[in-house]
Chain A
Amino acid sequence: MTEAFFVVVLVAYLIGTVLPLVFYSNNRINIPIAHAFALIASGAGIIASVLALTGATAVTVTIFPSPVFGATSLSLDGLSAFFLLTISLVSLAVSIYATPYMVKTAGKRSAAGFGALYNLFLLSLVMVVTVDNAFYFVVFWELMTLTSYFLVVFDYKKIQTARAGFQYLVMTHVGTAFILFSLIALSVHAGGFSFAGFKAAQASLPMGLKNAIFISALLGFSTKAGLVPLHVWLPRAHPAAPSHVSALMSGVMIKTGIYGLIRVLFDFLSPTPWWWGLLILILAMVSAILGVMYALMEHDIKRLLAFHSVENVGIIMMGVGLAVIFSSFGFVPAALLSLTAALFHLINHAIFKGLLFLGAGSIQYSTGTKNIEELGGLIKRMPTTAALFLIGSLAISAIPPFNGFASEWLTFQSILQANLIGDVSLQLIVLLAVPALALTGGLAATCFVKAFGITFLSLPRSERAANAKEVPVPMLVGMAILGLLCLALGVGSPVFIPIPWHVATSFFNGASEMPSFNPLLLRLPNSQGHASMSLLLVAALLAVVSLASVVLTGLRGKRSVTTGPTWDCGIPEVTPRMQYSAAAFTRPLKIVFSAIYQPRRQVEVESEASPYFPLSISYESSLYPVFERQLYRRFINTLVRMARRARMIQAGNINLYLAYIFATLVILLVFVWR
């Protein structure tokens, strides 16, 4: 059964890759076809992964055997099935959403190639998380990188898009080089490319090699995942792509980096030393805080969301880092709890970030702009989009009863397990994650009050926003699916959490007591006591109490609700220019954290006679992330300088090149002769 559905996934994506190209010149046919097959594949993917997660044994599908590199088989063990579920849930919603969006975005250009790449990209995602052979892992990884590159540069005529694409390509390939190193080292040691072989040989890995493999895997995979300081490509590349692709990239693709890291850490390199976990945890905290801080200052809605991906990857990685620390000390239940929190937040982030990017796509679809300073009042023009975007905003700000809160709650509970650690200084560093996570949550809420408030509420700030219209039904349906999932995974968390819990158990030896997840309450066995939380009750009570207060306050006789103008201090009329702008909204925090932001601003006032009556004022403010200046600029400058030096041997004279060849030949001959 499971195999059959899994094969459907692969075949449907393959057909979806080929068929749109057949109808190359007709967008009316190729766009729906591409997304219909992606939709079938995602549906089958959901079924296959749920079956695999509830079933007992792992499922394997062999595609083609190779005498050199071993058979290419795709297998659905717990972790793979969990990632397949994440991918399929998001791609299902995105594929429903994409058709009308692409029709408008493509315009007169043929979308056939794009549709084909879209399917190929999804196929490569599925294969990356299911393949069990290091060689093909790298092949599919490259396929994923390249297809996503072409999806990003769809709008290649824009200079920013082309540059963002280039930066993405360079960064991910540097990352791939590190991944390649760690996988090759593993396969040399294990004497084969199969993951099962890696697993069998892990006990005999020498410590030095193990550390080298870990460091390079961390560098490689966290480049893909967008962990600070390797995230610089992310806020540029994700917004450049068409929005539904951004939803897939931010929601799903960056998670393959986390998949790779979890696979390598817990499957190939265990037992792990504790300092690995500490390193991951510290990077994760920095990512979470810097990610949200830069998101706060961003007024391009898609760049804002991309920075939030950096933040959320940080939160996920906190769980991973904690799991490594706890497992290295042998605290299996605590490690299980942390990894469960990480996996749960991972799927939650995929869902709400998918929703928010689709929402941003809808905004762009009807207004033609991504700049929230030009928007406003959209809630009256696009009511459904607004409601769904609000759900996404609440979920990402970790507000109950939505899913983001449920997984952050679990992360808090995992941090609390730091009590177990004997070493006081380590325990203190781990506990620093508490204020880090809390600050992240608070700033994220601020950021989404801004993003939702400035975009959707009050008066439109431009013609475009004033003329916006609600998006077509398929786009709303795509968003509504994800919006419902945000609520369902929140109130239904006790039902869902056992799934990532079981996935996590496969990495740790020794059965562990399972927290009781009854459908109403989530109870965790802590070291000494327990914690309980029921989002279902909270949601139900919220509904009951608000309804009761509506009814009870409405009881007291007949009172009118009249509409009147907003209080304007006696100035004749409230105009959109009087409203708070996004820049004004975040200015207090910019001042508070100016040590981190190091903002630059330029104010020019032109006045004639008296400075109190200026003719014109121009204000310019810019932020250039400190680490980019300190880290990347220096690195790039050094690289360019070295390249200039290297140019000296490239004189362009053919005789010189012949001389080089001759010299090489002589050296080789001498070398061989000896």
Chain B
Amino acid sequence: MEFLAQKIAIGIGQALFVLLSAPLFTSLMKKVKAHFQCRFGPGLLQGYYDIWKLLKKDAVISEHASWVFKTTPYVVFSATFIAAVIVPSFAVVLPTAGIGDAIIVIYLLGLARFFTAIAGLDTGSSFGGMGSSREMMISSLAEPVTMTGLFVLAAAAGSTDFGGIITKSLVTGHVQPAYLLLFPAFLIIAVAETGRVPVDNPATHLELTMVHEAMILEYTGRHLALIEWAGALKLTLLLTIIANVFFPWGIAESMAWPAVMVGIFAITAKVGLLAIGIAAMESMIAKLRLFRVPELIGGAFVLAMLALIIRTTGIG
């Protein structure tokens, strides 16, 4: 009984942890980028202030919009949140992991994306359509890379559950060639899926370069707050996957409190470091032209396929 209570506590704890830590990481990235631009930049709590401010504001909705536009923020937020809850962050075996495996996480993000894209088309603005069209192009090219990468991991672990995948990387311990190839592939996918430089620029509102921002251009008030929060959650979730699969150090293997505390500290540090890395990379490279993006993703695909071949042939 006590065990069950602890399980539930950890499940809820994980949900609250990802929910509440997500805005921190996006603020951290903004801070790092500001540093590269020789600015002070906003504080680390700015992400929370922004969401709080948006929640307080009135909302304006386009007169052409339908219920799709109004429901989308809630669908996007809940789908992303559930996906984030499934991914183990500070403990390997999470009670929430029973909801689903790696495949469902990817497809829940697909649900969020589908709704964002149709909401982009809903207002009749050409920006929305442009954003939807581009986002769907990028994501449909990214999906084979993600799935191939996950299958390399799943084939090694014999399971598509994240628990199994992370346990496998904990057990193997040493650096493996397949993982070395997968790491950059996953990083590219994370950058593409969260709409960051060089694929997209989250800071831009220049018409012709927008992708993700163009889709959500019409959102205001609490709707925008939810979408922004979901965006932060998605970034955190993808970075958590990368952190725990490639650097599983520190993750709690039991449900004892000390291990869990170490786990929480470890995951915050790992995701934080990855966020800083991506922000630094963003500051140093330029955004790619839209039709160069397939080449980047194609490169990631080649890496994932190489990992698959290495894994299958047993070279590594």
Q: Which of A100-108, A350-358, A427-435, A645-653 contacts B (4 or more CB under 8 A)?
A: A427-435
Which residues, 154 to 181 on B, are CB-close (under 8 Å) to A? 154-155, 157-161, 164
Residue of B with least CB distance to A531 = B160
Taking the nearest CB of chain A, how far is it from the CB of B304, in angstroms?
Answer: 8
Residues on the B chain within 8 Å of A561, using CB: 58-61, 221
Judged by a CB distance under 8 angstroms, whether A457 is at the interface is yes
Which residues, 507 to 560 on A, are CB-close (under 8 Å) to B? 521, 526-534, 537-538, 541-542, 545-546, 549-550, 553-554, 556-557, 559-560
Question: Beta-carbon contacts of B134-163 to A below 8 Å, as 1s and 0s?
Answer: 101101111111111001001101111100
Residue of B with least CB distance to A578 = B126
The residue that A434 contacts in the complex, of B59, B101, B130, B148, with Cβ under 8 A, is B148
Q: How far is the CA of A117 from the CA of B275 in the complex (A)?
A: 64
The residue that A564 contacts in the complex, of B61, B101, B160, with Cβ under 8 A, is B61
Q: How far is the CA of A415 from the CA of B118 in the complex (A)?
A: 31
Which residues, 44 to 103 on B, are CB-close (under 8 Å) to A? 55-68, 71, 74-75, 77-79, 81-82, 98-101, 103
- Whether A431 pairs with B151 at a CB distance below 8 angstroms is yes
- Whether B222 pairs with A559 at a CB distance below 8 angstroms is yes
Contact size range, A: 35 or more
Question: Beta-carbon contacts of A367-408 to B below 8 Å, as 1s and 0s?
Answer: 000000000010110000010001000100111100001000
- Whether B313 pairs with A424 at a CB distance below 8 angstroms is yes
Q: How far is the CA of A445 from the CA of B117 in the complex (A)?
A: 10
The residue that A557 contacts in the complex, of B56, B129, B139, B308, with Cβ under 8 A, is B56
Residues on the A chain within 8 Å of B146, using CB: 438
- Whether A576 pairs with B124 at a CB distance below 8 angstroms is yes
Q: How far is the CA of A439 from the CA of B294 in the complex (A)?
A: 13
The residue that B140 contacts in the complex, of A409, A446, A526, with Cβ under 8 A, is A446
Judged by a CB distance under 8 angstroms, whether B312 is at the interface is yes
Residues on the A chain within 8 Å of B110, using CB: 397-399, 441-442, 445
Q: How far is the CA of A528 from the CA of B160 in the complex (A)?
A: 11
Q: How far is the CA of A505 from the CA of B304 in the complex (A)?
A: 35
Taking the nearest CB of chain B, how far is it from the CB of A444, in angstroms?
Answer: 8
Q: Which of A90-98, A157-165, A321-329, A584-592 contacts B (4 or more CB under 8 A)?
A: A584-592
- Whether A453 pairs with B225 at a CB distance below 8 angstroms is no
Which of A380, A416, A576 has the most chain B CB atoms closer than 10 A to its own CB?
A: A416
Taking the nearest CB of chain B, how far is it from the CB of A390, in angstroms?
Answer: 8
Q: How far is the CA of A452 from the CA of B217 in the complex (A)?
A: 20
Q: How far is the CA of A564 from the CA of B58 in the complex (A)?
A: 12
The residue that A400 contacts in the complex, of B55, B104, B207, B308, with Cβ under 8 A, is B104
Residues on the B chain within 8 Å of A418, using CB: 155
Residues on the A chain within 8 Å of B151, using CB: 412, 415-416, 431, 434
Residues on the B chain within 8 Å of A456, using CB: 66
Q: Total interface residues on B, using CB and 8 Å? A: 89
Known A-B contacts A431-B151, A445-B113, A580-B132; the reply to A529 vs B99 at CB < 8 A is no
Q: Which of A33-41, A191-199, A252-260, A565-573 contacts B (4 or more CB under 8 A)?
A: A565-573
Residue of A with least CB distance to B167 = A529
Taking the nearest CB of chain A, how far is it from the CB of B113, in angstroms?
Answer: 7
- Whether A541 pairs with B82 at a CB distance below 8 angstroms is yes
The A/B interface has a contact count, at CB < 8 Å, of 272
Q: How far is the CA of A432 from the CA of B225 in the complex (A)?
A: 40
Known A-B contacts A443-B140, A541-B82, A589-B137; the reply to A534 vs B99 at CB < 8 A is yes
Judged by a CB distance under 8 angstroms, whether B283 is at the interface is no
Residues on the A chain within 8 Å of B157, using CB: 528-529
- Whether A400 pairs with B111 at a CB distance below 8 angstroms is yes
- Whether A439 pairs with B123 at a CB distance below 8 angstroms is no
Taking the nearest CB of chain A, how far is it from the CB of B224, in angstroms?
Answer: 11
Residues on the B chain within 8 Å of A542, using CB: 75, 78-79, 82
Taking the nearest CB of chain B, how far is it from the CB of A319, in angstroms?
Answer: 16
Judged by a CB distance under 8 angstroms, whether B290 is at the interface is yes
Known A-B contacts A446-B137, A534-B99; the reply to A419 vs B155 at CB < 8 A is yes
- Whether B82 pairs with A579 at a CB distance below 8 angstroms is no
Residues on the B chain within 8 Å of A589, using CB: 137, 140
Known A-B contacts A533-B101, A556-B55; the reply to A428 vs B309 at CB < 8 A is yes
Residues on the A chain within 8 Å of B225, using CB: 553
Taking the nearest CB of chain B, how far is it from the CB of A60, in angstroms?
Answer: 41
Taking the nearest CB of chain B, how far is it from the CB of A442, in angstroms?
Answer: 3
Residue of B with least CB distance to A529 = B159
Q: How far is the CA of A576 from the CA of B158 in the complex (A)?
A: 52
Judged by a CB distance under 8 angstroms, whether A240 is at the interface is no
The residue that B124 contacts in the complex, of A427, A521, A559, A574, with Cβ under 8 A, is A574
Judged by a CB distance under 8 angstroms, whether B209 is at the interface is no
Q: How far is the CA of A428 from the CA of B159 in the complex (A)?
A: 18
Judged by a CB distance under 8 angstroms, whether B246 is at the interface is no
Taking the nearest CB of chain A, how far is it from the CB of B107, in angstroms?
Answer: 5
- Whether B64 pairs with A553 at a CB distance below 8 angstroms is no
Residue of A with least CB distance to B229 = A549
Which residues, 299 to 313 on B, are CB-close (under 8 Å) to A? 301, 304-305, 308-309, 312-313
The residue that B133 contacts in the complex, of A413, A568, A576, A586, with Cβ under 8 A, is A586
- Whether B75 pairs with A546 at a CB distance below 8 angstroms is yes
- Whether B312 pairs with A585 at a CB distance below 8 angstroms is no
Known A-B contacts A449-B114, A538-B82, A585-B132; the reply to A400 vs B160 at CB < 8 A is no
Judged by a CB distance under 8 angstroms, whether A503 is at the interface is no
- Whether A527 pairs with B158 at a CB distance below 8 angstroms is yes
Residue of B with least CB distance to A547 = B74
Q: How far is the CA of A627 from the CA of B117 in the complex (A)?
A: 32
The residue that B144 contacts in the complex, of A412, A415, A435, A574, with Cβ under 8 A, is A435
The residue that A453 contacts in the complex, of B118, B127, B147, with Cβ under 8 A, is B118
Residues on the A chain within 8 Å of B155, using CB: 416, 418-419, 431
Q: How far is the CA of A300 from the CA of B77 in the complex (A)?
A: 33
Taking the nearest CB of chain B, how far is it from the CB of A528, in angstroms?
Answer: 3
- Whether B159 pairs with A528 at a CB distance below 8 angstroms is yes
Taking the nearest CB of chain A, how far is it from the CB of B59, in angstroms?
Answer: 5
9 additional A-B residue pairs with CB within 8 Å, beyond A459-B64, A537-B98: A377-B64, A397-B114, A445-B113, A445-B139, A448-B114, A531-B101, A541-B82, A559-B221, A563-B62
A-B pairs with the 3 shortest C-beta distances? A580-B129, A528-B158, A442-B140
Residues in B lying within 8 Å of A, measured CB to CB: 55-68, 71, 74-75, 77-79, 81-82, 98-101, 103-104, 107-108, 110-111, 113-114, 117-118, 120-130, 132-134, 136-137, 139-148, 151, 154-155, 157-161, 164, 207, 217-218, 221-222, 225-226, 290-291, 294, 301, 304-305, 308-309, 312-314
17 A-B pairs, CB-CB below 8 angstroms? A399-B111, A424-B314, A435-B144, A435-B304, A438-B147, A445-B139, A446-B136, A449-B121, A452-B118, A529-B159, A538-B108, A541-B82, A546-B74, A562-B61, A579-B129, A580-B133, A592-B291
